[in-house]
Amino acid sequence: MDFLHYQKGHLFANKIAISELAKQYGTPLYVYSADYITKQYLEYARALVNRKYLVCYAVKANSNLAILSLLAKLGAGFDIVSQGELERVLKAGANPNKIVFSGVAKSVVEIERALKVGIKCFNVESEAELYRINEVAKQIGKIATISLRINPDVDAKTHPYISTGLRENKFGISYKLALDVYRQAVSLTNIKIVGIDCHIGSQLTELSPFLDAADRILTLVAKLKSENIHIEHIDFGGGLGVCYADEQPPMASSLMKELNKKLVNYPDIELLCEPGRSIVANAGLLITKVEYTKHQDGNHFAIIDAGMNDLIRPALYQAWMNVLPEKESQNTDEKYSYNVVGPICESSDVLAYQRQLSVKQDDLLVICSAGAYGFSMASNYNSHPRPAEVMLLNDMQHQVIRQRESLEDLWRGEIVL
């Protein structure tokens, strides 16, 4: 997060004081850098300029319209998993022909809507889904373009909750069954095969799992060609990790260049990828206020106004996220090993364990690398309104891109008996 730095003892984002953002917009508060998002997207795109490509941002990582519209203007495609995400990207100005529709449970309504707007393709995740798409397309007089999401049974060496490429995971079609399912697809009247897709997991910090999966997919592409089934694009998915603590993931450009090398004998095949976290995670932060400090029985708690309802990653899969005080610590400050905990009535509502901090009541903390799977997974648990979101437009300018929810928003659509 190279846009965060201390200046005269206080934390700044670009040239904007964190304290000023908190004062103007309140806390908890999500803040994103437009420049960082742009830089991360272009790192993918510029590594692929010598071939046909499409970088499809994984909308689930962060679906704010401002972020989607920024990426659409840069030329991005989008990887979606629901009709809600489809409508979001269309609202943001996306070209429908740059949308790929993933997800294991596509409904009839979702398939029909995607066909009518003319998406690039469906990433099909089961035989049953393939037949459903064919029937829906037949009923409305459309030809559905599809790729099969193949599960290559490659160990992504990541947390089991975000592993998607092993045979026991719910995603995709078994590598062993793939050839037969493609044969079935050829026989269907309203299906056009255009691609092959895989996605093996998230927060990958080395290249080898990606390249192993690519080798398995290319072996299958060769078998398909021998049966006169020709692939127009290969979608290698997403999952590239980011630095939360001391991880050293490869650069996006390195991954793209290595995958491009794998396709040296396939110059006419379009290369697709579906990055999400690596574009937005380190573009975002969560500003929170210390409501109380609590010291008892050798335990120290910094009790903040942000909770697992605002940022569930630490509670959901023990994610480690850096926590910075708004006021720069001095060597003479008294520090404690704090558990940074939220207001939610759950023992799992801990955003950070055992952090050496010097803080007091009403101080501000910044939780780093919160741009991905932060607000997009937020909830109203314990009837807390969701935070506002702000975009840093440049070094000095910022703008609200989502208003803070009001208390009335909590019961909108409900009735009193």
Handedness of CA 133, 134, 139, 145 (dihedral sign): positive
Upstream peptide bond of 28 is cis (omega within 30 degrees of 0):
yes
Instruction: For residues 99 and 42, give the distance between their C-alpha atoms in angstroms, rounded to a whole number.
Output: 18
| Cβ neighbours around 9 below 10 Å, total | 10
> What is the identity of the amino acid at 261?
K
Reply yes or no on whether 345 is catalytic.
yes
Instruction: For residues 158 and 340, give the distance between their C-alpha atoms in angstroms, rounded to a whole number.
Output: 25
Beta bridge partners of 145: 192
- Strand, helix or coil for residue 165: coil
Angle, helices 34-46/252-262, rounded to nearest 10 degrees: 20
Instruction: For residues 52 and 32, give the distance between their C-alpha atoms in angstroms, rounded to a whole number.
Output: 30
Question: Which of 139, 89, 84 has its CA nearest to residue 106?
Answer: 84
- The H or E element that residue 41 is part of is helix 34-46
- Radius of gyration from C-alpha coordinates of the chain: 23
Q: Catalytic: which of 121, 198, 273, 345?
A: 345
Q: Are 185 and 177 in contact (CB under 8 A)?
A: no
Just list the catalytic residues: 345
